[in-house]
Amino acid sequence: MSRLALTRDKIYKTVARQLHGVVPCWVCGGHVLPGAATLEHIRPLSEGGSSHLENLAISHDFCNNQRHAKGTVTPSAELAGTVRPRAG
């Protein structure tokens, strides 16, 4: 198992323990099952974000892929947990 997969599992289990088994998707807010969980960079690496724990969140695989396919940006300080289209 890769280091990133271990990190995803650790974050998922921590959130599940803190929220009594309910792990919300960072993008849509719906419950994420363990098999559909991916790590989402809150501030994208392309915008200077890092892979530190404070910049990682759990999201559905589908939501994560849709966010990247649509070219969306989510400034964590302004709109945490929401997605808005990129201007242009």
- CB 48 within 8 Å of CB 18: no
**pLDDT tens for the chain, residues 1 to 88:** 677 677 888 888 888 888 888 888 988 889 998 888 888 888 888 888 888 888 888 888 888 887 665 555 554 434 444 444 444 4
Q: Where are the domains of the chain?
A: 3-85
Q: How many CA atoms are closer than 13 Å to the CA of 78, on its beta-carbon side?
A: 5
Nearest residue to 83 (alpha-carbon basis) of 59, 56, 49, 53? 59
User: What's the pTM?
Assistant: 0.63
> Top-level CATH class of 3-85?
mainly alpha
